[in-house]
Chain A
């Protein structure tokens, strides 16, 4: 840690961990309901569990991204954050808005639009919160001694993410138009601007962990985010194949979606090559595990599995089945979950002064979480492919098919338990680091 104000990042990370745990709890509620144990139906029906699960995902990742920005931007701009008190106000208001939304879901207060269930009045509070965050980050960056590419890409990702929230707030009478613009938010977030955020964090971590020259890393960062937008923006078309808009999207979406894995492949190759080139052997092995893991798993989850089901000829059968859940889980985990855990693993020892760089608990956390998530992906995949054949090809009734594939959810719950064990170990490690302290300023990396 080089600046006292970076300490605020710790509390965003702590909030992030708390919300991740809650997200997993609601995931279990859904997993058990799919096996037939929906005893909580009266209090937490499936649609509540589902909305809480996906919204918590978004909020814990955003909280992690914000923490990453509060850690990275002062260091890159070489100055203290412009206003630390306001950063804490932003943290508390983010937590309050998130908790209010999630409590509201339990009382049927929501919008019922996948991933954007937060009711409209709270949307405005989200906007105010994010504006405050961006104000703090951008002012710090531009008042700083230098504006690095890493900081600019990260800030650009955060700014675009905020701007792209707005199309999701426009009301539409038509379900088709509503869905069309909802994807402007959801797709252009996860397959567009969030990749800028991921790229920015990845670049910062590689500079710190490998010691490769900043100019080299940042040059390739531009190439990767360039590839991301080149393929990802028009790749939005894969959500438009079969929802009631013009056929032109089948051609455009098909071609550009097929290019999307390139950006993720480039990111994986970039991370591994920089690691190999690097002469500096940073002792924080856990941060390195998570960093390289994020780059590689995102290629498999977001790149390859995304490609497997966004070809129009495949998607016509897989659209609206559990195959989407298969891709979604590994993609979010690899691309965003792991990069947040990477920046936390890197910054915690620096914030707290406790150098728990390579604990066996930390390594177990990495492997259990990843093995568990891979197992969950396979379980979703087998269930999804079986669903496609039985329901879409052999025309069996939806619920009969669900009974046939219920066994795969037993496997899913078992793998989710392994995953959850990994996350619990990670959080124990987080706790063991203790609180951030100014004394950490004096300890060199």
Chain B
């Protein structure tokens, strides 16, 4: 029968081993050749866009890379999707939503009116475009905005 000492050894040993493997895998997945985070294309615009994204808690309604609040649309590949819907004018549409002084209210749900400047809206779009080029291990095909828009059209 298992003794208390053996049970403690199982807990401490198992924890140590799995933590070490976890740290090793973290290093592996960000190492050269294995990193698929699109880090090399990070520009100052993209970083500013991320700051705007965070400082307004956009994730409190939308999802991005599948993470967020499921109240407003997924925004991974949003530029591509709106380009199809609005004949290549996706970026203009996003800008007009972000710069609007009154709440955007398509299909009933209100979005906070952020009244951004053109520069700020441009940064957010740069951020979305950078997000859209990340390799998502096939998730992008499932949310498949391009196929979806073609089907809805």
Chain A residues with CB under 8 Å of chain B are 30, 33-34, 36, 38, 41, 45-48, 50-51, 105, 108, 110-114, 117, 149, 173-180, 215, 218-220, 222-223, 225-227, 229-230, 233-234, 236-237, 240-250, 252, 316-317, 319-322, 324-325, 387, 392, 395-400, 402-403
Contacts and interface: CB of A to CB of B under 8 A. Distances in A.
B107 A222 contact: no
A176 to B, nearest CB: 4
Contacts of B74: 320, 398
A45 B8 contact: no
Contact of B67 (A320, A387, A402): A320
B93 interface: no
Contacts of A242: 65-66, 136-139
A247 B137 contact: yes
B34 A229 contact: no
22 contacts: A41-B103, A47-B60, A48-B57, A108-B55, A108-B56, A111-B55, A112-B58, A114-B68, A117-B57, A176-B65, A226-B15, A230-B14, A242-B65, A242-B66, A244-B134, A244-B136, A316-B139, A319-B66, A320-B66, A322-B70, A324-B70, A392-B142
B21 to A, nearest CB: 6
A50 B15 contact: no
B69 A50 contact: yes
A230 B18 contact: yes
A234 B21 contact: yes
Contacts of A113: 54, 59
B94 interface: no
B144 interface: yes
Contacts of B54: 111-113
B110 A223 contact: no
Contacts of B29: 240, 245-246, 248-249
B131 A36 contact: no
Contacts of B58: 47, 112
B83 interface: no
A241 B142 CA distance: 13
Contact of B108 (A47, A48, A220, A403): A403
A237 B74 CA distance: 22
Contact of A33 (B35, B59, B71): B71
Given A112-B59, A114-B59, A225-B11, A219 B66 contact: no
A134 to B, nearest CB: 19
A45 B112 contact: yes
A36 B151 contact: no
Contacts of A387: 70
A244 B65 contact: yes
Interface in B24-42: 25-26, 28-30, 34-39, 42
A233 B18 contact: yes
A76 to B, nearest CB: 16
Contact of B61 (A47, A173, A225, A226): A47
B36 A399 contact: no
A392 B143 contact: yes
Contacts of A240: 29
Contacts of B142: 316-317, 392
Interface in B70-101: 70-74
A218 B68 CA distance: 39
B11 A226 contact: yes
A229 B103 contact: no
B8 A179 contact: no
* Interface hub of B8, B66, B135, B143 (most chain A Cβ within 10 A): B66
B7 A223 contact: yes
B107 A399 contact: yes
B45 to A, nearest CB: 12
Given A173-B47, A245-B29, A322-B70, 9 more contacts: A47-B69, A111-B55, A114-B59, A176-B37, A223-B10, A240-B29, A243-B65, A320-B65, A399-B108
Given A113-B59, A241-B139, A173 B67 contact: no
